[in-house]
Amino acid sequence: MHAKGFTLIELLVAVAILGIIAAMGAAAFTGYIKGAIEKEATTGLSSIYLAQEEYRSLYGSYYQSAANCTASSNHSSTINTNLFNGDVSLDQTNDRNFNFCIEWLGGSSSTFQANAYYADNSGDYFTITNANLKRKFESNSWTEGW
């Protein structure tokens, strides 16, 4: 008579297979999270672009939140107030993923660049201009488009 059940080897193989599957799932999940966070930046910048076009049609120039934007510039609150008429379109909480800022290009109110800097000050960021030029700065190099 043989006892019914699994041997130690069979259990170890099953646990190893489950470990491999879990590791693959964790890597895929990390990529999913990064993509969702980046989507927050690109959606915010696209909203800024559209609101800027409306602002220009009403006032004859683009809105500027700062003369010069830096990675620590977080103007989400003033952008929400002045460009989105008080609607909270950009996350302005302390646990936000991005700092948003809008600057005129070359000091001219007829051009702008909006920036979404990672709030962790990694140095990476996304931009959009009044010409709808979309770029990403990551690992010290530029990529056209998002």
pLDDT at 28: 74
3-state secondary structure of 135: strand
- Is the entire prediction scored with pTM above 0.95? no
The pLDDT tens digits for 122-140 are 889 999 999 999 999 999 9
Find how far residue 98's CA is from the centre of its chain: 6
Provide the pLDDT for residue 6. 81
Instruction: Render pLDDT for 2-36 as a digit per residue (tens, 0 to 9).
Output: 667 888 898 899 999 999 998 888 877 777 888 99
Other C-beta atoms closer than 10 Å to the C-beta of 18 total: 10
d(CA 139, CA 107): 28
Q: What is the pLDDT of residues 43-84, one digit of tens each?
A: 999 999 999 999 999 999 999 999 999 999 999 999 999 999
Between CA 85 and CA 28, with CA 93 as vertex, the angle to 5 degrees is 115
Other residues' Cβ atoms within 10 Å of the Cβ of residue 89:
18
